[in-house]
């Protein structure tokens, strides 16, 4: 979000560009003494999904007010950078990373919701150099959460917080979406990390736990269950990493890939961005929900031991904690229904082209399938994926927006099933790996065949 404004002029906020340039350097730094972390405070009492009801207000300080702060030496932040010319008052109901150095947020101005940045701390005054206070932020109370205990989440009262406006006044939702798309990819990968850890723990457990006829790892029923879990995990892993690769390619260009890798990406930059835009809410929703289910299954794999708080060895075997931490991932950064709604928004947005589902998603799918068939693999599987794609294209074309929203979760499943099939088969073609090939086949045969859509359609009343 900040990167997009580095080259823009200060306009009516003198000093903004220099501040943003420093903030950007700190946010991407890996030097712990210099790097900053950031919170993003959107949610208010009236709701997190619907930020349009934001009650926090921002007003431009008068020149007398800025001069007064300047005289008192209260116009600098804790890193001696100038403070912005806006003041914010309001209440943020559920704000994480309250121990960070800065925060991005939304607040109402006369022209509507706008985006702002502020450092967390400011100088108390020129008479007290080196003394700092919170920048108009009062922590009302910490949330008592089910998990993610290492991350402080709080109710914050904002009074006189000095801020810089980012982007155009009234353009806050568009501005903040740059952050949301990133945090959704991070959430996806965080959820996946929890799931991967839980799977490793349960695999290790099967090597030592004795059941009736021997070790748990040799029990066919248990093995089959775990194998199916692993197929789901691999599919999620490929989808999430493809999201990261798409993001990296949009930021750094396709020259970072070799010729073979480039075949996995849409050939033009516009399609690349739209595919990323489409897959981001899908992976956020599907991977986070499946991670919760997956970690729960791993907990069950460990029997009663899995349900206990195993904090010996620093808690690395504590699947119960992993479960609590994973459980938030389908909620924060947008719930599953909000992700489904967003996916429908992309699929039906005429500004992105005549038919995103055909011209971007369909074209990408067909290109990857062709690549697999050129390798002489997965002939039957490719035709199954093609037929699921045709079904999906038909649905998107036939239904109007309210009906597609009503089908939101089915839409997510269609995109996930098709995209993961392509990625798993492509991966198996790269080196003919036996396990990758088997996993790709199992995914296609278990997930790509269309489900009970016809029955659901008959229930729709507009
Ligand atoms: C641990 C934790 C940390 C958080 N940290 C932050 C933070 O740092 N910054 C921040 O801004 N927020 C934060 N949040 C808030 C989080 O982003 C919201 O909880 C989330 O976006 C959901 O909003 P809500 O809680 O208001 O639920 P609601 O929006 O009220 O949702 C309730 C239900 O209604 C459904 N729903 C809502 N709208 C629609 C719709 N249009 N169509 C269909 N169904 C709908 C939802 O899917 C959900 O099932 C945090 C939340 C948690 C739990």
Q: pLDDT (tens digit, 9 = 90+) per residue, 194-231?
A: 999 999 999 999 999 999 989 999 999 999 999 999 99
Domain CATH code at residue 143: 2.40.110.20
Structure tokens at 82: 């100038």
Which of 55, 142, 65 has the alpha carbon at shortest distance from 105? 55
Tell me whether residue 459 is in a domain. no
- Asked whether residue 357 carries a pLDDT value surpassing 90, the answer given is yes
Is residue 42 in contact with ligand 1, taking CB distance under 6 Å? yes
Note the residue count of the chain.
462
Structure tokens at 105: 């947020």
Q: In angstroms, what is the span from residue 43 Cα to ligand 1's centroid? A: 8
Per-residue pLDDT at 452 = 44
Q: In angstroms, what is the span from residue 284 Cα to ligand 1's centroid? A: 14
Is residue 231 in contact with ligand 1, taking CB distance under 6 Å? no
Domain identity same for 322 and 416: yes
Split at pLDDT 50, 70, 90, the class of 234 is very high
Domain identity same for 115 and 212: no
Tell me whether residue 456 is in a domain. no
Domain identity same for 154 and 279: no
Tell me whether residue 462 is in a domain. no
Which of 232, 234, 240 has the alpha carbon at shortest distance from 280? 240
Q: Which of 169, 198, 224 is the last residue of a domain?
A: 169
Structure tokens at 462: 């507009």
Domain identity same for 115 and 199: no
Q: In angstroms, what is the span from residue 333 Cα to ligand 1's centroid? A: 7
Mean pLDDT of the chain: 93
Is residue 43 in contact with ligand 1, taking CB distance under 6 Å? yes
Domain identity same for 74 and 9: yes
Domain identity same for 282 and 322: yes
Per-residue pLDDT at 48 = 77
Domain CATH code at residue 187: 1.20.140.10
Flag whether the ipTM exceeds 0.95. yes
Domain identity same for 138 and 202: no
Is residue 94 in contact with ligand 1, taking CB distance under 6 Å? yes
DSSP-derived secondary structure letter, 315? G
> What's the rounded Cα separation, in Å, for the pair 320 and 413?
28
Split at pLDDT 50, 70, 90, the class of 333 is very high
- Which residue's C-alpha comes closest to atom 40 of ligand 1? 338
- Asked whether residue 453 carries a pLDDT value surpassing 60, the answer given is no
- Per residue in 2-38, pLDDT (tens digit) is 999 999 999 999 999 999 999 999 999 999 999 999 9
CA-to-CA separations, 228 to 233, 423, 438, in angstroms, rounded: 9, 17, 11
Q: In angstroms, what is the span from residue 406 Cα to ligand 1's centroid? A: 19
Per-residue pLDDT at 70 = 87
Domain identity same for 104 and 191: no
- Which residue's C-alpha comes closest to atom 33 of ligand 1? 335
Is residue 37 in contact with ligand 1, taking CB distance under 6 Å? no
Q: In angstroms, what is the span from residue 1 Cα to ligand 1's centroid? A: 22
DSSP-derived secondary structure letter, 218? G
Pocket test for ligand 1, best of 49, 184, 331 (most atoms within 8 A of CB): 49
- Per residue in 261-313, pLDDT (tens digit) is 888 999 999 999 999 999 999 999 999 999 999 999 999 999 999 999 988 88
Q: In angstroms, what is the span from residue 299 Cα to ligand 1's centroid? A: 26
- Asked whether residue 451 carries a pLDDT value surpassing 60, the answer given is no
Write the burial class of residue 293 (CB in 10 Å: 0-12 exposed, 13-18 middle, 19+ buried). middle
* Helix/strand/coil for 211: strand
Tell me whether residue 131 is in a domain. yes
Per-residue pLDDT at 282 = 98
Domain identity same for 358 and 214: yes
Q: Which of 169, 204, 228 is the last residue of a domain?
A: 169
Per-residue pLDDT at 459 = 63
Tell me whether residue 28 is in a domain. yes
Is residue 337 in contact with ligand 1, taking CB distance under 6 Å? yes
- Which residue's C-alpha comes closest to atom 51 of ligand 1? 332
Tell me whether residue 457 is in a domain. no
Tell me whether residue 460 is in a domain. no
Domain identity same for 12 and 152: yes
Alpha helices in 308-378 (DSSP H): 319-326, 336-348, 356, 363-374
Per-residue pLDDT at 46 = 85
Domain identity same for 261 and 156: no
Q: Which residue reads 């996806």 in tokens?
A: 188
Which of 447, 454, 456, 436 has the alpha carbon at shortest distance from 385? 447
Tell me whether residue 461 is in a domain. no
Domain that holds residue 242: 177-451
Q: Which of 138, 169, 200 is the last residue of a domain?
A: 169
Tally of domains in the chain: 2
User: Which atom in ligand 1 lies closest to the alpha carbon of residue 148?
Assistant: 1
Domain identity same for 293 and 309: yes
């Amino acid at each position: 979000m900040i990167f997009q404004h580095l080259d823009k002029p200060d306009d009516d906020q003198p000093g903004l560009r220099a501040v943003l340039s420093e903030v950007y350097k700190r946010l991407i730094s890996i030097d712990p003494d210099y790097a900053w972390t950031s919170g993003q405070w959107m949610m208010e009492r009236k709701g997190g999904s619907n930020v349009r009801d934001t009650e926090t207000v921002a007003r431009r300080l008068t020149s007398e007010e800025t001069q007064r702060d300047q005289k008192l030496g209260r116009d600098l932040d804790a890193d001696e950078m100038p403070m912005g010319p806006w003041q914010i008052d309001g209440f943020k109901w559920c704000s994480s990373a309250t121990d960070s150095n800065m925060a991005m947020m939304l607040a109402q101005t006369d022209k509507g919701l706008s985006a702002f940045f502020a450092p967390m701390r400011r100088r108390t005054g020129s008479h007290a150099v080196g003394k700092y206070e919170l920048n108009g932020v009062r922590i009302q109370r910490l949330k008592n959460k089910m998990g993610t205990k290492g991350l402080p989440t709080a109710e914050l009262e904002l009074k006189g917080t000095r801020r810089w406006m980012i982007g155009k006044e009234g353009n806050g939702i568009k501005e903040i979406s740059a952050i949301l798309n990133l945090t959704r990819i991070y959430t996806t990968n965080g959820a996946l990390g929890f799931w991967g850890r839980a799977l490793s723990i349960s695999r290790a457990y099967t090597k030592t736990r004795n059941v009736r006829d021997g070790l748990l790892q040799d029990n066919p029923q248990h093995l089959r269950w775990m194998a199916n879990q692993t197929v789901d995990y691999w599919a999620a892993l490929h989808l999430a990493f493809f999201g990261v690769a798409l993001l990296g390619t949009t930021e750094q260009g396709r020259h970072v890939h070799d010729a073979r890798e480039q075949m996995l990406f849409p050939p033009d930059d516009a399609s690349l961005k739209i595919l990323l835009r489409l897959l981001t809410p899908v992976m956020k929703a599907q991977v986070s929900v499946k991670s919760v289910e997956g970690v729960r299954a791993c907990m069950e794999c460990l029997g009663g031991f899995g349900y206990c708080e195993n904090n010996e060895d620093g808690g690395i075997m504590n699947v119960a904690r992993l479960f609590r931490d994973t459980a938030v991932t389908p909620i924060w950064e947008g719930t599953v229904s909000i992700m489904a709604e967003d996916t429908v928004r992309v699929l039906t947005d005429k500004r992105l082209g005549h038919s995103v589902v055909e011209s971007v998603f369909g074209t990408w799918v067909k290109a990857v399938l062709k690549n697999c068939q050129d390798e002489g693999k997965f002939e039957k599987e490719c035709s199954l994926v093609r037929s699921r794609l045709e079904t999906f294209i038909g649905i998107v074309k036939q239904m109007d927006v309210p009906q597609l929203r009503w089908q939101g979760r089915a839409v997510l499943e269609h995109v996930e099933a098709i995209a993961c099939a392509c990625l798993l088969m492509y991966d198996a073609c790269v080196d003919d790996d036996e396990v990758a090939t088997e996993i790709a086949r199992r995914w296609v045969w278990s997930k790509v065949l269309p489900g009970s859509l016809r029955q659901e359609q008959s229930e729709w009343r507009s």
